[in-house]
Amino acid sequence: MEKELILDVKDLKVSFHTYAGEVKAVRGVSFQLHKGETLALVGESGCGKTVTSKAILRLLKEPPAEIKEESIIDFMGEDVTKMSKERLQEYKGADVAMIFQDPMTSLNPTMTVGNQITESLKIHRKEMDKEARKKEALRLLELVGIPSPESRVDQYPHQLSGGLRQRVMIAIALACDPKILIADEPTTALDVTIQAQILDLLDELKERLNTAIILITHDLGVVANFADEIQVMYAGEVMEKGTVEEIFRKAHHPYSWALLRSVPKISTDGSEHLYSLQGTPPDLIMDIHGCPFADRCDYAMKICKEQSPPRTDFSETHHCFCWLDHPDAPDVERPI
Ligand code: SF4
């Protein structure tokens, strides 16, 4: 059965106009998202994953940010870059919602968690009266696994643990039944056990509500059991995209290899050393000639610095941008 296409991003380019010049933070990113699917955007900080997701939600301050003319962000047949102010207001929250890394800075410390949920319902679910909103707030707290919601609903964020605060953030995001939930490093501020619980919760909600999820993370280890597809990003560009299976078992791009080698593995004798990629990403104020990863790549060839690598497709879901996949390239042994 064909999956329903919800989001179609084509050639997304986002720049920031600064005193030092134009920072080209996202340089022609394209991908699709289907109903009930989880797509992970993975890469080091500054690779453009958060800017991409904020552009989808039109959360960037424009200016200094600029979504370039040729970019298309198609949400169920509507171009988000051309939405009116009123439509955008509705779109943010009702169609696409975002949860952030640190719930403490996103939640309002002076409002009870119940009121924060009902505020969101007031804006997006106008048909609900006060009583219905209160009932819905309790239902949502229960849905996200908050124990005894009747007593929690009147509490303030500081009275909750980090894990519970993140659950409240998810409840607020779900208040309007969004088609897409964007989770930006949702577990980074939490300890390992709670991280797993939050990821399980997101997974369960996805199954139950058929919401699509865009998960932003720097850690490939986080996505192994959670995402359906992985898009590896570097210097504002896509390096490789594939299913979890394809990236973990058959990655083609040297940057994907570096990320995979950085995932901690359990070794019985404790002998495993974590790989750490040397060097820094290119300055995004500069024009990049050839492959953006060339300065840090152990396999770089002369052509890599001269011409952008072409796209090679390995399956319907797996593609990569690297000169090593060219038929004339030398054979190299993969380090993973
Ligand atoms: Fe390395 Fe060249 Fe492939 Fe870029 S195109 S990742 S520099 S081998």
> Which residue is it, tokens 């109903």?
35
pLDDT confidence of residue 267: 62
SS3 content of the chain, % helix, strand, coil (to 5): 35, 25, 40
pLDDT confidence of residue 25: 94
Q: In angstroms, rounded to a whole number, what is the distance separating the alpha carbons of residues 95 and 78?
A: 12
- Give me ligand 1 centre to Cα 332, in Å: 12
User: Which residues surround ligand 1 with Cβ inside 6 Å?
Assistant: 253-254, 291, 293-294, 297, 299-301, 304, 309, 322-324
Mean of pLDDT values over 281-294: 90
- Give me ligand 1 centre to Cα 10, in Å: 23
Least confident of 43-52, 191-200, 228-237: 191-200
- Give me ligand 1 centre to Cα 196, in Å: 34
- Give me ligand 1 centre to Cα 152, in Å: 52
Closest atom of ligand 1 relative to the 254 alpha carbon: 6
pLDDT confidence of residue 270: 61
Peptide bond into 64 cis (omega under 30): yes
pLDDT single digits (tens) 18-31:
998 999 999 999 99
Cα 263 → chain centroid: 18
Query: How far apart, in Å, are the Cα atoms of 75 and each of 8, 79, 94?
Result: 7, 6, 13
CA dihedral 52, 54, 59, 63 (to 10 degrees): -30
Q: In angstroms, rounded to a whole number, what is the distance separating the alpha carbons of residues 134 and 175?
A: 12
Closest atom of ligand 1 relative to the 294 alpha carbon: 7
| Residue 82 pLDDT exceeds 60 | yes
- Give me ligand 1 centre to Cα 303, in Å: 9
Least confident of 114-123, 268-277, 327-336: 268-277
Strand partners, 237: 234
pLDDT confidence of residue 189: 67
| Residue 36 pLDDT exceeds 80 | yes
- Give me ligand 1 centre to Cα 275, in Å: 19
| Residue 278 pLDDT exceeds 60 | yes
Q: Confirm if 22 and 285 have CB atoms less than 8 A apart.
A: yes
| Residue 38 pLDDT exceeds 60 | yes
- Which amino acid is it at 292? P
pLDDT single digits (tens) 162-173:
888 888 888 888
Question: For a substitution probing ligand 1, which of 278, 296, 299 has the most ligand atoms within 8 Å of its CB?
Answer: 299
Question: For a substitution probing ligand 1, which of 324, 328, 332, 333 has the most ligand atoms within 8 Å of its CB?
Answer: 324
Q: In angstroms, rounded to a whole number, what is the distance separating the alpha carbons of residues 256 and 336?
A: 10
- Antiparallel, parallel or unpaired: β 237-243 and 180-184: unpaired
| Residue 268 pLDDT exceeds 60 | no
- Antiparallel, parallel or unpaired: β 96-99 and 5-18: unpaired
Q: Confirm if 14 and 66 have CB atoms less than 8 A apart.
A: yes
Q: Confirm if 16 and 65 have CB atoms less than 8 A apart.
A: yes
- Give me ligand 1 centre to Cα 227, in Å: 26
Question: For a substitution probing ligand 1, which of 232, 239, 291 has the most ligand atoms within 8 Å of its CB?
Answer: 291
pLDDT single digits (tens) 222-258:
788 889 999 999 999 999 999 999 999 999 999 999 9
- Give me ligand 1 centre to Cα 296, in Å: 9
Which residue, judged by its Cα, is nearest atom 5 of ligand 1?
322
Q: In angstroms, rounded to a whole number, what is the distance separating the alpha carbons of residues 247 and 125?
A: 40
| Residue 201 pLDDT exceeds 60 | yes
- Give me ligand 1 centre to Cα 301, in Å: 7
Among 137, 109, 107, 110, residue whose Cα is nearest residue 121: 137
Q: In angstroms, rounded to a whole number, what is the distance separating the alpha carbons of residues 236 and 29?
A: 8
Question: For a substitution probing ligand 1, which of 301, 305, 331 has the most ligand atoms within 8 Å of its CB?
Answer: 301
pLDDT single digits (tens) 145-159:
888 888 888 888 898
pLDDT confidence of residue 213: 92
pLDDT single digits (tens) 50-65:
999 999 999 898 889 9
